Chain A
Amino acid sequence: MSRSLITEARNTWCPGCGNFAIEHALKTVIAARIEEGFPPEKFVLVTGIGCHAKIADYLDINSFYAIHGRTIPVATGIKLANPDLCVICCAGDGDCYAEGLDHLIFAAKRNIDLTMIVHNNRVYGLTTGQYTPTSPLHFKGRSTPGGTEEKPLNPPALMLASGATMVARAYTRKLDHLQAVIREGMEHPGFAFIDVLQICASFFNMTDYYNERVYTIKEHDSSDFWRAWQKVREWDYSADAPIALGTFYKSVEPVFNDKFRITRQPGEGREQAVRKLLERRIGR
C-alpha cells in the first residue's frame, strides 16, 4: 500500500496539540489493517465540529465531516446501510458529551458496531476556552470566570451504565497504548468507546498533571463488569487520584447492525411489491 493516508490539506492545529497523536495513531492502525488486506475504501471516518473534526480533512479516507454533536447518528446510518464498512467516529468532549450526549448513550444502548474516539481535552478549544462536561470542578473558563459550580461527568462510567460493550481510556502521550486500544476498538464487534485524554496546548495544558498520574491497568479482568465499574470510578475527572489507562470492560453481545443486512439488489424494482400490497386491500 503506497498511499500516504494523509491529504494535502494544510494542518491548522496548534503546535503541541494532542490531536496530532490521535491522527498519527489512527493513521497507523488504518495503514496496518490495509496492509493486512482490509480494503481502504471500506473505512469511513465521521467527525463532529471542533478542533478534532479537522482530522476528516487530514486523513485521506472516506469521511463525513458532520455537525456539532452529531457524529453518531450519521455513523449509525452509514453502518446500517452497509454493515461491512468499518465506521470510526472522532468527536470532541464538548461535541459528544454535551450536545451529542443522547446519541452517545443510545449508541451504547443499541450496541451499534462503531469505534468511538473521543478527543477529550476537557475544554472548548475552537470557541476559545469555555468549560466542557469533563472540565474539573471550579474550572475557570471564559464563560465561567469565577470557576464552574458543577462536577464533571465520568464518561467511562456513563458508558458502562449505558451498556457499551467496550469501554476504554487512553492518553495521547502513551502513543503505543493509544494505537493498541484503537485497534482493539476496531476489531471489537459492537460499540467500542475510547475516552482519549489529550491536552489543549492553548487553553488547558494538563501534560504534567497527566504524566504524574496515568498508569496502564494490568491483571485486570475486562469481562468483570463490577471490577470495571470500580476501576472507572478511581478517578472522577476532578479530584486528585491515579488515572487508569486501558480497556476497563469488554463483552461480546448481539450487534444492532447485524439485523439490517438484508438489502435491495441494485435495479430491483418495487412495482410488483407495491401492487401486491394494494391488492391485499381489496381482499385478494
Chain B
Amino acid sequence: MEDFSVLIGGKAGDGINRAGFVIGRILSRMGYRIYMYYDYPSLIRGGHNFAIVRASRHTGIASHHFTVDCILALDQATLLRHAGRQTPATIAIFNSDSVKAGAPAAGLAVPLETITKEEDGISIMANSCLIGAFCRATGIPWDIAATVLGEEMPRETEKNLSIARRGFDAVQERYILPKREAPEVPLITGNEAISLGLLQAGLDAYVSYPMTPSSGILHFLAEVAGETRLKVIHPESEIAVILMAQGFAFAGSRTAVGTSGGGFCLMTEGVSMAGMTEVPVTIVVSQRPGPSTGVPTYTAQGDLAFVLSAGQGEFPRFVFAPADPAQAFEWAGRALNLSWKYQVPSFILVDKTLSEGTFSFDPEEPEWTGEDPIPCWDGTHPYRRYAESEGGVSPICHVPTAGAVVKVNSYAHDEDGITTEDRDLIARLVEKRMQKSPGMLAEVEALHPVGISGDPTASTAILCWGSTAGTCREVADIIGLRVVQPVVLSPFPARALRDALAGVSRIISVEDNAEGQLASLAGAHGIDISAQILRYDGRPHALEELRDRVLEVGA
C-alpha cells in the first residue's frame, strides 16, 4: 500500500492532538513519512476534535486524504460525523463504553474506560488503550508501539504501557501494515519548523502575544529558550510586541515576532515605524479566517493583500510564504538574515494548516543558512545611522559602540537621524529607502523564489501559494499538471514566475480565500488566470476534494 490514513476523534480535552502525534510517531518508526491534519473548534472541553494521520511511502507529503483506512473513535460523534470517510475496508475501532447505538458490526469494540479504570489510570489514558488496539489491528509489532509510547510518555510510563498492552490484547489483527526500512525522521509542526529556522539563523529574541495559530512558536521557543540562550518575552499586547522587537534590534539582537491577523492589525503602526527607522524585524503572520475574530482555530489565506501593504507610507519589505516545513525552515532563516542585511521588515506568511499541521521533516532536505554576517560601521568616520550608500543600506552600528552616537528616528530625518522637514532631505531619504528594492529583488531572484513541481512540461499549470501547494503538488502528480508556487511574494518575482509558466496555456489558481488574492497580484504583473478554485470555509482541501475541483474546472 502506498498510503495509509487513520482518523482519531473524540471530545476536546480527550488529548486527540497528542494521541494523533503518537500514532504518527509509531507509523514514522514503521518507516513511513507522515502528515497529520488536526481539526478542532475553539473550546477547551467538549465539542468534536479529530486528527487524520496519513502515512505514506512518498516523501514530501503535506496533505490528507478524505477517506480513511482506519477510524479510532473515543465517542459516538466520531463515528457519526465521519461516516462518509469510511469505505467497506475501513477498520473501525471504537470505545464500547461510550458507543452503543450504531456501533459498526464489523468494528472492533474495546471498553477503553473500563480497562483504564481497571488499570487504575486517569481518563486521558484511554488514548493509550486505543493506540494499543490500533497497533494490534494493523499488525504493528508491540515492541515498536511500546518503544514510542515510552519515549512520548515520560510520566506514568509504566501505567500507560500496561493500559496500551490491554488494548493491544483486546483485538485481533485485521490488516498487516508492512514495515519499511526507511530511516525515521523527526515529526514537527510548521510552527516548529519556523522556530528552528529562526534559531539556526541566529535568533536572539522572540517576542509574542499568544494568538492561534501562531502560539505554537511562542510555546516551543519558550520551552527551548534556556538551552538555546534565546530570550522569549510575552508582553502586554501586539503593539508592545512589535515595538519591543525593534528595541531589541536597536541593541543588536536578532528578533522575531509572531501573531495572526487580529494581532497583526495592532502591529501595523510598528511595522510602519520599522519601515521608517530601518530597524530589522521578522514578523510571522499565521493566517486564520477573518474578518475580525473569524474562526480562530481554522485555516485561511485571506491576509496576503493586508501583509503586502500593511503600515502607512511606502517602504520595501520581504514577504515569504513557505508551503511546508522544509520551506518554512529555509525561508524563516532567510527572512531573519535578509531583514538584517537590508534593514527592512521581513514576513513569514503562513496559515493554520502549515502552522499546526504535523509533518515528517528530513533535516537533509532544506538548506541550512546559518547566520549571515552583515556589514557594520567600520569606525573610521563619524557615525551616521542613515548615511547614503550604494543600494540604500547604511552601515549598521548597535548601542553601545564607543565613539558612535546612534540615532534612530520614526520621523522624517537626515542622515544623522535628526528630524527634518526639509523637502530635499525628505525626498533624498525616501529615495535611499526605496533604493533597496532592486537589490532585494536581485537577492530573491537568486534564491529560486518560485517552486515548480508536478510535470514541468505540462501546458496547464496550477498557481498556488503557501500550504495549499502541498495538496496541489499531489493533485498535479495524479492528473499530470505543472505546479507553480511563488515562495516570495514581495518583492514580487515576476520574471521568475513568467519563466516558471513558460509554455503554459492555461492557469488554474488555487487559494484558501474568497477574492483570489494571488491571482490579483499575478494579474497586476500581466499573468492572467484561466480558472480559479477558491475555498473559504476554514478547511483545507483533502486530496480527493481538490482533485475533483481541478477536474471540474477542466484541467
Q: Do A and B bind each other?
A: yes
Chain B 405-440 near chain A by CB (<8 Å), digits 1 or 0: 111111101001111000000000000000000000
Chain B, Cβ-Cβ closest to A281? B186
Contact B370 A269 (CB under 8 A): yes
B248 at interface by CB-CB < 8 Å: yes
Interfacial chain B residues near A262, Cβ < 8 Å = 229, 231
In the complex, besides A264-B204, A274-B199, A281-B188, 17 extra interface pairs with C-beta distance below 8 angstroms are A39-B400, A41-B403, A54-B419, A67-B410, A75-B247, A76-B240, A76-B247, A80-B244, A80-B247, A81-B252, A103-B239, A268-B229, A269-B200, A270-B200, A270-B203, A273-B228, A282-B185
Total interface residues in chain B, CB < 8 Å = 70
> In the complex, what residues of B have CB within 8 A of residue A275's CB?
363
**Closest Cβ–Cβ distance, residue B326 to chain A (whole Å):** 13
* B251 contacts A65, C-beta separation under 8 Å: no
- In the complex, A77 has a CB within 8 A of chain B: yes
A102 interface residue per 8 A CB criterion: yes
Q: Which residues of chain B are within 8 angstroms of A46 by Cβ–Cβ distance?
A: 247
User: Which of B's residues lie within 8 Å of A, judged by CB?
Assistant: 28, 147-148, 151, 184-188, 196, 199-205, 207, 224, 227-231, 233, 235-237, 239-241, 243-253, 255, 269-270, 273, 277, 361, 363, 368, 370-371, 399-411, 413, 416-419
Q: Do B405 and A39 have beta carbons less than 8 Å apart?
A: no
Contacts of B411 in A (CB 8 A): 49, 53, 65
* A82 CA to B249 CA, complexed, in Å: 11
Residue among A54, A106, A271, A274 with most chain B CB within 10 A? A274
A274 and B236 form a contact (CB under 8 A): no
Cα–Cα, bound, A116→B486 (Å): 47
9 A-B pairs with the lowest CB-CB distances in the bound complex, closest first: A77-B247, A281-B186, A81-B251, A73-B243, A77-B244, A41-B400, A73-B240, A283-B151, A78-B247
Contact of A270 (CB < 8 Å), options: B202, B233, B251, B400:
B202
> Which B residues lie within 8 Å of A282 (CB)?
28, 184-186
B229 touches A82 (CB 8 A): no
Q: How far is the CA of A85 from the CA of B252 in the complex (A)?
A: 13
| Partner pick for A274 among B196, B248, B417, CB 8 A cutoff | B196
Can you give 8 contacting A-B residue pairs, CB < 8 Å? Answer: A67-B269, A67-B410, A70-B243, A70-B270, A74-B247, A77-B244, A78-B248, A270-B370
Residues of A within 8 A of B371 (CB): 269-270
Nearest CB of A to B271, in Å: 11
Stretch at the interface among A55-63, A129-137, A245-253: A55-63
Write out the residue numbers on chain A whose beta carbons fall within 8 Å of the beta carbon of B243: 66-67, 70, 73-74, 77
Is A279's beta carbon under 8 Å from chain B? yes
Q: Is the CB of B200 within 8 A of A277?
A: no
CB distance from B31 to the nearest CB of A (A): 12
Expressed in whole angstroms, the Cα–Cα distance for A135 and B451 within the complex equals 59
A42 / chain B contacts, CB cutoff of 8 Å: 399-400
Decide yes or no: A62 and B405 within 8 Å by CB, A78-B250, A82-B399, A103-B236 being known contacts.
Answer: yes
Report which of A62, A78, A278 forms a contact with B186, defined as CB distance below 8 A.
A278
Is A98 engaged at the interface, CB distance under 8 Å to the other chain? no
Docked complex: A182-230 residues within 8 A CB-CB of B: none
Chain B residues with Cβ under 8 A from A75's Cβ? 247
Query: Which A residues touch B187, using CB under 8 A?
Result: 281
Among B188, B244, B371, B419, which residue has the most Cβ atoms of chain A within 10 A? Answer: B244
User: Which of B230, B249, B401 is close to A41, meaning CB atoms less than 8 Å apart?
Assistant: B401
- Nearest-CB distance from B73 to chain A (Å)? 28
Q: Which residues of B contact A263 (CB under 8 A)?
A: 204, 229
Which chain B residues lie closer than 8 Å to A67 at the CB level? 243, 269-270, 273, 410
Query: Do B408 and A65 have beta carbons less than 8 Å apart?
Result: yes
Interface residues of A in 90-122 (CB under 8 A from B): 102-103, 106
> Could you say which interface size class chain A belongs to?
35 or more
A73's partner among B186, B235, B401, B419 (CB-CB below 8 A) is B235
Interface string of A5-49 (1 = CB under 8 A from B): 001010000000000000000000000000000010110101001
Q: Contact between A277 and B196 (Cβ–Cβ < 8 Å)?
A: yes
Give the contacts of A126-182 with B (CB-CB under 8 A).
none
A4 to chain B, nearest CB (A): 12
- Residues of chain B within 8 A (CB-CB) of A260 are 231
User: Which of A49, A67, A81, A281 is most buried by chain B, counting CB atoms within 10 A of its CB?
Assistant: A81
Contact assessment for B250 and A41 in the assembled complex, using a CB-CB cutoff below 8 Å:
no
How many angstroms from the CA of A252 to the CA of B246 in the assembled complex?
29
Residues of B within 8 A of A237 (CB): none
Rounded to whole angstroms, the CA-CA distance of A270 and B237 in the bound complex is 29
Kindly list chain A residues whose C-beta atoms are within 8 Å of the C-beta of B405: 41, 60-62
B336 to chain A, nearest CB (A): 11
**Cβ of A64 < 8 Å from any Cβ of B?**
yes
Q: How far, in Å, is B301 (CB) from chain A's closest CB?
A: 28
Cα A274 to Cα B253 in complex, Å, equals 19
Q: How far is the CB of B252 from chain A (nearest CB, A)?
A: 7
B196 touches A278 (CB 8 A): yes
The minimal Cβ–Cβ distance linking B422 to chain A, given in whole angstroms, is 11
The one of B200, B205, B368, B418 in contact with A7, judged by C-beta atoms closer than 8 angstroms, is: B418
Which A residues lie within 8 Å of B408 (CB)?
63-65
CB distance from A172 to the nearest CB of B (A): 22
Nearest neighbor of A53 in chain B, beta-carbon distance: B411
Nearest CB of chain A from residue B364's CB, rounded to whole Å: 11
When distances are taken between beta carbons in the complex, the residues of chain A under 8 Å from B255 are 77
CA A62 to CA B408, docked complex, whole Å? 8
Chain B proximity mask over A229-249: 1 for CB below 8 Å, otherwise 0:
000000000000000000000
**CA A175 – CA B151 in complex, angstroms?**
67
Give Cα distance in the complex from A57 to B409, angstroms: 9
Cα A81 to Cα B406 in complex, Å, equals 16
The answer to whether A62 and B406 touch (CB under 8 A), given A262-B229, A274-B200, is yes
Which residues on B sit within 8 Å (CB–CB) of A7?
Answer: 416, 418
Decide: B251 and A78 in contact? CB cutoff 8 A. yes
Give the Cβ gap from B400 to chain A, nearest Cβ, in Å. 4
CA distance A64 to B204 in the complex (A): 20
